Amino acid sequence: MRLPLATLLLAAIVAAAGMAGANAENRRSGFDDMSPSTQALQREDTQNPAMLWVQDGEQRFNADCARCHSAQSLGAAGARHPAWDAAAGKPLTLAGRINQCRVRHVKAPALAPESEGLLALEAFVALQSRGRPIAPDSTPALRPFVAQGERLFKQRIGQLDFSCAQCHDDNAGRRLAGALIPQAHPTGYPIYRLEWQGLGSLQRRLRNCMSGVRAEPYAYGSDEFTMIELYLKQRAAGMAVESPAVRP
Amino acid sequence: MKMAALRTLLRVPATARPGEVMEVRLLMQHPMETGFRPDASGRTVPRNILRRIEARFEGELVFAADLFPAITANPYIAFPLRATRSGTLTVTIEGDNGVAERETAVITVA
């Protein structure tokens, strides 16, 4: 059998790409599997309820943050965090960074996790990264934290004895009861979740899953959550930031 | 800074051609508490909803809606408006607990 050389080459390239990047090629944002009406909510800023929090966040940003930062200068922050913090010797989430900046430079008290003020600021900052590819911090010191995050992602937990990976790696695209299991890429946080009727962070979403498998959720702002966030960001590297997204 | 009692986003096209039908969009940040839900201690959470939305263009009523407990939190309302002349659209929102908001948007027809 004789095949043209070009066909053979193409077949070889396709095979190599398939082996090297099966995960990278087949990654889907939760957006892709939403109903058209929910997609429309996210697509149109005039319909996206998260924009109410963004408006609040912009006012807070202008009051507290604009003395040092311009909104444009923070364009990479949402695509990059959690990022290495040399002083703390560990990674910081975007919410952690906002609070650190408040305490250290604004001399204001830290905002409570999941408070309206913190979510509003996080939404406004993350919006500045919308459309950019997720570009995780590549500081070498982060590697053990990413590895630990991956370990936590693959660790069986709770009375149901499930790991994150068993649903979101092994069975993504299938259904858990009526709900489609997404690949769990954190492309749009903080999200307006219809089920919550409000804005919420990635850690709130992770706590949902943990109580779903009857595990005791980690605390907001815990190192465990930071490491899982870090791993998920690496896993989603290159996907476009959608913040603030809408999810069902 | 005085916090607004109700956070709203009112969007209209800044300009329109005469006779053009435009869409007015209004998002409101509100819990729309139904008055039927029990809280963690079993007591019924008092009703707290937005009840009435009215839109007036230069004083003329162009849209009105009554809202009820079955409406979602953070409601989104959109309605068409035919542009005949330039003017100000005034939207008033009334609700439980003394909510009374007024939002305006200027529309230029040319």
Mean pLDDT by 10 residues, chain A (248 residues): 47 40 74 95 96 97 95 94 95 97 95 97 98 97 98 98 97 93 97 97 98 97 97 97 97
Give chain B's domain count: 1
Q: What is the CATH number of the domain that holds B51?
A: 2.60.40.10
Q: Does B74 touch chain A (CB under 8 A)?
A: yes
In percent, how much of chain B has pLDDT > 70? Answer: 95
| The residue count for chain B | 110
- Which of A130, A137, A134 minimizes the C-alpha distance to A72? A130
* Sequence letter at residue A186: P
Among A residues 160-199, those touching chain B with beta carbons less than 8 Å apart: 197-198
CB contact under 8 A, A55 and B73: no
Dig out the tokens for A3 from the structure: 């095949």
Q: Residue A34: is it exposed, middle or buried by C-beta count within 10 angstroms (0-12/13-18/19+)?
A: buried
pLDDT at A25: 72
DSSP assignment of A107-131 equals --PPPPTT-HHHHHHHHHHHHTTTT
ipTM above 0.95, yes or no: no
Look at the block and give the residue holding tokens 């590819």: A133
pLDDT of the residue at B49: 97
Nearest one of A163, A152, A122 to A223, comparing CA atoms:
A152
- Asked if residue B92 belongs to a domain, the reply is yes
Domain range enclosing B99: 7-35+45-109
Cβ–Cβ gap B73/A47 under 8 Å? no
Residue B21 inside a domain? The answer is: yes
To probe the interface with B, which of A37, A46, A59, A246 has the most B CB atoms within 10 Å? A46
Question: Which chain B residues touch A198 with a CB distance below 8 Å?
Answer: 73-74
Closest by CA to A98, choosing from A140, A134, A46, A57, is A57
Does residue B40 sit within a domain?
no
Separation between Cα atoms, residue A91 and residue A136, nearest integer Å: 11
Q: Using the beta-carbon criterion (under 8 Å), do A198 and B74 form an inter-chain contact?
A: yes
User: What mean pLDDT value characterizes chain B?
Assistant: 93
What local confidence, expressed as pLDDT, does residue A23 receive? 59
* Minimum-distance CB partner of A52 among B29, B31, B78: B29
Distance spanning both ends of chain A, measured CA to CA: 53
In a domain, B1, yes or no: no
Q: B9 CB near a chain A CB, below 8 Å?
A: yes
Q: Residue A19's pLDDT is what? A: 38
Let me know: does A76 contact A69? Beta carbons within 8 Å: no
Q: Is residue B67 domain-resident?
A: yes
Angle at A128 between CA A123 and CA A130, to 5 degrees: 90
Q: Specify the pLDDT at position A197.
A: 95
pTM, two decimal places: 0.89
Would you state the structure tokens that stand for residue A227, as one six-digit string? Answer: 């490491």
Whether residue B8 is predicted with pLDDT greater than 90 in this model: the reply is yes
CA-nearest residue to A44 within chain B is: B25
Second CATH level (architecture) for the domain A31-247 = Orthogonal Bundle (1.10)
Residue B83 pLDDT level (bands cut at 50, 70, 90):
confident
For residue B108, the distance in angstroms to the closest alpha carbon of chain A comes to 19
- Assigned domain for B31 exists: yes
